């Protein structure tokens, strides 16, 4: 608008007006200089405001060199000063109830679970005729195999990867994603040297949220732990910007109605004398739910730490360290059942 107003001003004051040939009209397109265009400013995500709505701002000039992460974090050391060894789980007793050799599985998923490549790339291998099942080349998309079938790639038999379960005490400034196009620090950098199998995080923690984060290659267990019907318990330690009022504690315990519906809080305890540090137990998996609950009552969350997830504790796991789950812990996770619907009093 500013440029347009300048061009509609007094032409007698413009130097280019004196050079026009008589009888000729200069078109607007000739007046306009393409070099005068101001570049469109790019914006980037800056965080969230007090109302938990996203804030965008001007992109800051940064060094575009990709940062390298050479073992920035490590597993917990054993008593002899050695890294904790990757365990082998004997889950046959519980796998009989979940999977049997007679269960069919899509061939591309079988290949992906073996750690060869992604499902999409597995389809390309199948299409090229590089996969054989029980000695016969298979090129059919959507082909299903039994778990006991012999699947070969490049003349070698492949099997789904052995299951891996890792518990990390996540530090701040790492985003929960398997890949980031902006080359920011991700949680995958923290466990990249843990094992050869391909891992993915179960659920997510915000960039500035710390605490327990589970990694696995067990898709079935991951789906269970993130499905709302299982109501997986999570406990957070919350540090607020100001003391919380007693009536707000009572109101939160009764249930909070946010823009995406009612959110039930299982427990809320004040942990410090100044009433700024709290413990909250919740089973909801909604995005940024803890921060949004307190923002609804006018509080900013200065620090958020997940101390319990699905019965797992971060005890003896320092910040930035991880450990492999014990077999008993895996079995407990496998046997988590759906929560029965609660009958509310009429």
As annotated, the active-site residues are 206
What are phi and psi for residue 183, nearest 5 degrees? 60, 35
Q: DSSP state, 208? A: T
Distance CA 53, CA 331 (A): 40
Dihedral, CA atoms, 88, 94, 96, 101, nearest 10 degrees? -30
Task: Report CA torsion sign: 221, 227, 237, 254.
Answer: negative
Rg (CA), the chain: 29
Q: Which residues pair with 170 in a beta bridge?
A: 211
Residues in the chain: 346
Q: DSSP state, 189? A: G
Distances (CA, A) of 289 to 38, 46, 237, 334: 40, 19, 14, 26
Q: Are 164 and 324 in contact (CB under 8 A)?
A: yes
Q: Are 198 and 217 in contact (CB under 8 A)?
A: yes
Q: Are 164 and 221 in contact (CB under 8 A)?
A: no
């Amino acid at each position: 608008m500013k440029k347009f107003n300048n061009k509609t001003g007094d032409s007698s004051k413009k130097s280019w007006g004196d050079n026009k040939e008589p009888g000729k009209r200069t078109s607007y397109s000739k007046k306009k200089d393409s070099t005068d265009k101001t570049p469109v400013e790019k914006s980037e995500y800056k965080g969230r405001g007090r109302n938990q709505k996203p804030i965008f701002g001007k992109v800051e000039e940064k060094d575009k060199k990709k940062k390298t992460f050479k073992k920035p974090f490590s597993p917990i050391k054993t008593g002899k000063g050695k890294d904790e060894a990757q365990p082998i789980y004997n889950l046959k007793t519980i796998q009989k109830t979940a999977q049997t050799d007679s269960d069919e599985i899509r061939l591309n998923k079988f290949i992906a679970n073996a750690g060869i490549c992604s499902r999409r790339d597995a389809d390309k291998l199948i299409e090229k005729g590089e996969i054989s099942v029980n000695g016969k080349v298979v090129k059919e998309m959507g082909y299903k195999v039994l778990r006991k079938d012999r699947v070969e790639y490049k003349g070698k038999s492949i099997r789904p990867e052995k299951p891996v379960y890792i518990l990390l005490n996540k530090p701040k400034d790492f985003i929960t994603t398997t890949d980031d196009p902006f080359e920011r620090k991700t949680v995958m950098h923290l466990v990249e040297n843990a094992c050869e199998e391909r891992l993915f995080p179960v659920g997510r923690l915000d960039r500035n949220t710390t605490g327990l984060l589970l990694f696995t290659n067990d898709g079935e267990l991951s789906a269970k732990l993130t499905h709302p019907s299982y109501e997986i318990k999570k406990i957070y330690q919350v540090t607020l910007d100001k003391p919380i009022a007693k009536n707000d504690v009572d109101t939160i315990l009764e249930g909070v109605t946010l823009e995406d519906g009612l959110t039930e809080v299982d427990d809320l305890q004040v942990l410090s004398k100044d009433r700024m540090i709290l413990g909250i137990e919740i089973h909801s998996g909604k995005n940024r739910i803890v921060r949004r609950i307190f923002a609804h009552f006018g509080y900013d969350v200065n620090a958020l730490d997940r101390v319990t997830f699905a019965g797992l504790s971060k005890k003896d796991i320092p910040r930035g360290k991880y450990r492999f789950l014990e077999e008993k812990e895996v079995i407990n996770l496998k046997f988590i059942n759906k929560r029965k619907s609660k009958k509310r009093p009429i």
